[in-house]
Structure 1
């Protein structure tokens, strides 16, 4: 690959991913929705709103003009909130090069359609599925920005395209693995946000390691059940995009979803938690779509069901935990 890369979205993960690309030798242009963010990146080499104190490499440029960022880009990285993807793509598609690779960093399920992000990209941008690459795994942006060792999964139905992206993001601190199971990698990334909300609630309620281990293990089980029903490889959920991402998101205080869950576990309303965290917790919206997806495929997802009840029906987290524990016993 020789052309420049566009990263559409100047949040913490989009900015950290731009740094990875630059450190791997690529020229990168970040698109920021707000001009003041783009100007800060251009003039100070920092993104003070999302990664304060981190100096971005000289290979990273920024603009608030999406057309300027995308034009001529060989790779276009999509790093916007999942529920805004379709609307954003409507204004971006005309700028895409005919065979550009579209890389999804998003971990969510679209509310109105229950589509995975790669499916939204295919439908909204009118591109073939083999042009879409999914990056998933334990991707806590602040740690990666500090060059702490991390690994990720690069998934695409076209393994050669996945390999090209893999080479473009390999650095001494960031190790990508390829995979052809797009469904499994995307579901692992989406559902772990919902389980992390439950984990955060448990932490705030003062529940201990047994409860936390239960939520991670049974959360992984319900993720895998849904994945298999949709055609994913069950082994994917034992890897970085499954267990790895789930453990990282649940256990880290850097996790937006865990932190949001902690606010809910302390008895705050959804609105109070949103005000306190000031960032998007993808699981809050995705839990609705994932619940609907599970019901459509007759898959039991009890943790997801209870998270949805807490977030959107006002159920007390303690009542939700009691409901989980009172389910009919059965073989593991």
Structure 2
């Protein structure tokens, strides 16, 4: 029977904090890599993350903090990566310790820029982690709601179902329900695409399109997602499962969604730079849009929503014009 052993969280943001809260409740010990020593010092002094989800209290005696990623990797068996995807490569550049024998879980709902690889593929191709040692964490899961202990449903994807089950056993609790899946690549690509579609939804919101159109937009988005997933990883899946459709819905509609907020600002006339500065948080869909557009040049899947968001964000085409063209393609 597989045992996750000692578990460490890699990342210091809101989702990392929420995941750490879930895990430490079961294990009463975690390792936690944060890149800044001053953030670690403040965390120990205050008993909470000084920057994100500050209402979540921790017993810091149950946490081994380190700003040295190599020390964490050496000491822990299961590594849960929860860094924003644009920064993953920079964190890993410091890594001198082999991770191929570790159980690597990516809770990163993004894609690695420049490489155009979802995170499990990146760990496999660059760090030689075998697929049976790679898992992903997906599902509709705003960190803020998890921190408030509101009921949430998570899916652990891994080709080794015993390992997936072992990690779900660590997560499952009163307010966290879990299930397992073997569709790692599908879950990861769906997590990238739902951010793109949330930006589209936000742009339409900023342009004052109403709920009626938003419903049509999301209906078309799930069809577009299904076409792409079938092309790149044509296994049998139910696109209406919570890890696909559920995550799309919560990211597309919720006020907690950074990508929806970013899109709304673009729809209201903000420039890309001004929207990013004002948000002070990463909207991963901005980077994911470019990566997915480049990936789809190989697959040639019909993806009008992705194309529209790309044209707005990267070709600086007017949101009013581009969304009007998009509306004419819907039925």
The TM tier, using the shorter chain, reads: over 0.9
Say whether the 8 Å CA contact 1:39–1:62 is kept in structure 2: no
Where does structure 1 differ by over 6 angstroms across 4 or more consecutive aligned residues?
Answer: none
The 2-side partners of 1:143 and 1:240 are apart by 16
The 2-side partners of 1:189 and 1:266 are apart by 25
The 1-side partners of 2:72 and 2:8 are apart by 6
Structure 1 partner of 2:164: 162
Structure 1 residues 38-96: Cα deviation after superposition (integer angstroms, max 9, x where no partner): 12222222113111222124423422222232222111011111122233223225153
Structure 1 residues 179-205: Cα deviation after superposition (integer angstroms, max 9, x where no partner): 001121111111000000011111122
The 2-side partners of 1:26 and 1:165 are apart by 15
Normalized against structure 2, the TM-score is what? 0.94
Say whether the 8 Å CA contact 1:38–1:62 is kept in structure 2: yes
- 1:92-171 equivalence runs, <5 A: 92=95, 94=97, 96=99, 99-171=101-173
Change (3 A) 1:2 1:163: closer
The 2-side partners of 1:190 and 1:228 are apart by 15
- 1:181-330 equivalence runs, <5 A: 181-233=183-235, 235-327=237-329
Say whether the 8 Å CA contact 1:12–1:141 is kept in structure 2: yes
Structure 1 residues 153-196: Cα deviation after superposition (integer angstroms, max 9, x where no partner): 10011111111111111121111110001121111111000000
Out of 6, 9, 25, the residue aligned to residue 8 of structure 2 is: 6
Structure 1 residues 301-332: Cα deviation after superposition (integer angstroms, max 9, x where no partner): 111111111111112211111111233x7xx7
The 1-side partners of 2:206 and 2:29 are apart by 43
**How well do the aligned residues superpose, as a CA RMSD in angstroms?**
1.7
Say whether the 8 Å CA contact 2:85–2:113 is kept in structure 1: no
Q: Secondary structure at the match of 1:309?
A: helix
Structure 1 partner of 2:93: 90
Normalized against structure 1, the TM-score is what? 0.94
Say whether the 8 Å CA contact 1:287–1:304 is kept in structure 2: yes
Say whether the 8 Å CA contact 2:4–2:167 is kept in structure 1: no
Structure 2 partner of 1:73: 76
User: Which 5+ residue runs of structure 2 have no aligned equivalent?
Assistant: none
Structure 1 residues 231-283: Cα deviation after superposition (integer angstroms, max 9, x where no partner): 14353421122101001111111111001111101100000100110111000
User: Which 5+ residue runs of structure 1 have no aligned equivalent?
Assistant: none
Structure 1 partner of 2:176: 174
Q: Is 1:23 aligned with 2:12?
A: no
The 2-side partners of 1:237 and 1:303 are apart by 18
Say whether the 8 Å CA contact 1:19–1:60 is kept in structure 2: no
Say whether the 8 Å CA contact 1:89–1:124 is kept in structure 2: no
Q: Secondary structure at the match of 2:93?
A: helix
Aligned-pair distance for 1:26?
4.5
The 2-side partners of 1:188 and 1:57 are apart by 35
Change (3 A) 1:124 1:88: farther
Q: Is 1:41 aligned with 2:47?
A: no
Say whether the 8 Å CA contact 2:4–2:103 is kept in structure 1: no
Bigger mean CA deviation after superposition, 313-322 or 299-308: 313-322
